[in-house]
Structure 1
Amino acid sequence: MDDRNLALELCRVTEAAALACARLMGRGDRDAADATAVEAMRRAFDHIDIRGTVVIGEGERDEAPMLFIGEQVGKGWVREGSKSPRVDIAVDPLEGTNLCAMGQPGAIAVIALAEDGKFLNAPDTYMEKIAVGPEAHGVIDLRESWTWNLERIAAAKGKSIDQLTTIILDRPRHEELIAEVREAGARIRLIGDGDVSAAIATCKEETGIDVLFGTGGAPEGVISAAALQCVNGDIQGRLRFRNDEERARAEKMGVPAEDHIYSIDELAQGNVMFAATGVTESAFLDGVRFIAGGARTQSVVMRSQSGTVRVIDATHRFETKPAYSWATGLD
């Protein structure tokens, strides 16, 4: 899987999702925003010459009408004898549904792509995570305390702990984590949603974020791993089941024991591609900005094979993009 053009095609898919759900920004309806992004992304896949299988999606077939786990996407499936590449797809059409619904910063549309069978087929449960940028690659360990990890990250980055900034989801389950980080002396940036963009922020010096700590979605952990593979970042994850039903489902999927620590290479292997488009403003990406007759978007496209990171500022003229009219409300 070395088609450079494919990575740019993925960007068109995230742009479509972002343009669609940005129309609903701030209207308070998270479900409508998410459904709009999902539909736009699904339709955009019809223009991509792949035989893709969704392994991280909106849920099981009976839970999601589209982009469900196991769904086949891409126009390569409809051609007999197609030689289009077979790939695994991980999607979050709108990461930060609440952020978009409330018009708050940090919502993005995300896709990751890997060679067939190279993504962990993560169950829809929680995952405890540590994510860092390239300078701290290889020094983190989820088996150790948060303080131990802060000490190692600080040493790797040539800082003291009180110069580190952690990013943590603002949830009641993180009360003890937050107390320990504060006791250790590190700064904390609490966020309401969006741990994929938070994980990636650890790799951008201008964000000021050194490490992501805490428990978020397992599917988001896989997507984060794909992005971090492209920039030599690092992530470890451990599944945290919420009930016996999730444990049984994971066992059926062949997932290792609950205490297994997943490395970045177990979460996302081989050559991977990642694309994201901002929906609302963030330190990671600009949000969609509607202008007369169109909109502006900002996206990032990354490939692990080359380590290339492209930031794409695009201007979309709706009257000249009939194929994407469904993403912009022109139907």
Structure 2
Amino acid sequence: MTREGTFAGNRGLDDALALELVPVTEAAALAAGRWAGHSGESARLAAVDATHTGLRSVPMRGAVVLGAGARGETPALFHGAEAGDGDGPECDLGISVGDGALSESRDVPCALTAIAVAERGAMLDPSPELDLEKLVVGPGFADVVDITRPVAENLRMLAAAKGVRVSDVVVAVLNRPRHGSLAREIRDAGARVHLLEGGEIAGAVATARAERQVDLLLGTGNAAEGVIAAAALACLGGSMQARLVPKDAREHGTGEVLRTEDLVRGERVLFCATGVTSSELLRGIRNDGAGRAIAQSIVLCSNPVTVRTVRSEHRSARQSGHG
């Protein structure tokens, strides 16, 4: 599809633009994947560089609201940076190149690279001093659970709504020391804990995918990644309830309950992610030993509602040179 075709009729944020993001997240994932098992910081910098380069050719006038670096870093993907080729719809961008950063003992840089796009002014812009306490469920269960209720009560309500036993409910929890008591509370209630070794984007989106066996996500994590996950949920019909909480605070948030539509507003939302290492949502980069790298991506659009899984093969420069 030509660029003129992409924006025929002033369609703006649509499925065609979502597909333009696939080469960007793929390039970032491939760049990060080369550092798997080495330096996590090198992987992040490589992914940032690939994302910055790839976004230059995407037809949009984007502003980075949720960035992948600090102001002054090169390349520039910090808060407020411009992205896109300067032609096309005005939009907010949320970028994650480090979601899924595993523990140092595992020494794997990140599980996925992701870009969320929404209409200009539509994304919540949380303070970097704040985290987000989250409760995430799939389509049809938004009114069944409540982040202000005790965990055990939410588990009973969700199990009843799904017609299963509490012992069949799978709860995703970020594997961090701060969640030790939460994991015990879930197990004491009789449900199953699925520990997320990486970040929360993959686990949150998995709750809204019928083929992924995650019923609920609970816990506190990065606020920016929470908003990016909310963008994906807006496309899939999933639901997030959240409360802002100071970083490293061990108590629950006590402020206003934010919902998916508070985190990402507007009628048109796009999301694209590519696996770096395998996660609850996507397979990671695979090298077949013959100079080919295989990538898996998910592409989402809220209007029109579109869900695509994309499998791509990439040949190394040496292989492609041999034709």
Contact in 2 for aligned 1:138/1:234 (Cα 8 Å): no
Equivalent residue number for residue 224 of structure 1? 229
Equivalent residue number for residue 273 of structure 1? 270
Equivalent residue number for residue 6 of structure 2? none
Contact in 1 for aligned 2:283/2:295 (Cα 8 Å): yes
The one-letter code matched in structure 1 to 2:256 is: H
User: How many pairs were matched up?
Assistant: 303
**Separation (CA, whole Å) in 2 of partners of 1:59 and 1:179:** 35
- Change in Cα spacing, 1:173 to 1:152, as seen in structure 2 (3 Å) is same
**Separation (CA, whole Å) in 1 of partners of 2:227 and 2:315:** 34
Q: Does residue 36 of the first structure (1) align with residue 40 of the second (2)? A: no
**Separation (CA, whole Å) in 2 of partners of 1:142 and 1:307:** 27
**Separation (CA, whole Å) in 1 of partners of 2:32 and 2:173:** 25
Percent sequence identity over aligned pairs: 40
Report the CA distance between 1:6 and its aligned residue: 0.5
Equivalent residue number for residue 142 of structure 2? 137
RMSD over equivalenced CA pairs, Å: 2.4
SS of aligned partner of 1:239: strand
Report the CA distance between 1:148 and its aligned residue: 1.8
Q: Does residue 9 of the first structure (1) align with residue 20 of the second (2)? A: yes
SS of aligned partner of 2:140: helix
Report the CA distance between 1:96 and its aligned residue: 2.0
Equivalent residue number for residue 154 of structure 1? 159
Contact in 2 for aligned 1:24/1:100 (Cα 8 Å): no
- Change in Cα spacing, 1:15 to 1:47, as seen in structure 2 (3 Å) is same
The one-character-per-residue Cα deviations of 1:276-317 (angstroms, maximum 9, x if unpaired) are 001112331111122433321110000111221100011123
Gaps of 5+ in 1: 77-81, 245-256, 323-331
- Change in Cα spacing, 1:226 to 1:101, as seen in structure 2 (3 Å) is farther
Contact in 2 for aligned 1:106/1:281 (Cα 8 Å): no
Contact in 2 for aligned 1:18/1:278 (Cα 8 Å): yes
Contact in 2 for aligned 1:112/1:275 (Cα 8 Å): yes
Equivalent residue number for residue 285 of structure 1? 282
The one-letter code matched in structure 1 to 2:116 is: A
Equivalent residue number for residue 328 of structure 1? none
**Separation (CA, whole Å) in 2 of partners of 1:198 and 1:105:** 17
Contact in 2 for aligned 1:106/1:197 (Cα 8 Å): no
SS of aligned partner of 1:121: coil
Which range moves more in the overlay, 145-154 or 100-109?
100-109
**Separation (CA, whole Å) in 2 of partners of 1:53 and 1:300:** 22
SS of aligned partner of 1:206: coil
Q: What TM-score, normalized by structure 1, do the two folds share?
A: 0.85
Contact in 2 for aligned 1:99/1:107 (Cα 8 Å): no
Alignment of 1:1-331 (within 5 A): 1-27=12-38, 29-62=39-72, 66-76=76-86, 82=87, 84-98=88-102, 102=106, 107-124=111-128, 125-242=130-247, 259-270=255-266, 271-291=268-288, 292-319=290-317
SS of aligned partner of 1:308: strand
The one-letter code matched in structure 2 to 1:175 is: G
- Change in Cα spacing, 1:297 to 1:226, as seen in structure 2 (3 Å) is same
Which range moves more in the overlay, 206-215 or 153-162?
153-162
Report the CA distance between 1:258 and its aligned residue: 6.1
**Separation (CA, whole Å) in 2 of partners of 1:168 and 1:56:** 23
**Separation (CA, whole Å) in 2 of partners of 1:227 and 1:171:** 23
Report the CA distance between 1:229 and its aligned residue: 0.7
Contact in 2 for aligned 1:34/1:97 (Cα 8 Å): no
Gaps of 5+ in 2: 1-11
**Separation (CA, whole Å) in 2 of partners of 1:312 and 1:151:** 37
Q: What TM-score, normalized by structure 2, do the two folds share?
A: 0.87
Report the CA distance between 1:240 and its aligned residue: 1.0
Report the CA distance between 1:64 and its aligned residue: 7.3
Equivalent residue number for residue 9 of structure 2? none
Which range moves more in the overlay, 124-133 or 280-289?
280-289
SS of aligned partner of 1:221: helix
Contact in 2 for aligned 1:58/1:64 (Cα 8 Å): no
SS of aligned partner of 1:39: helix
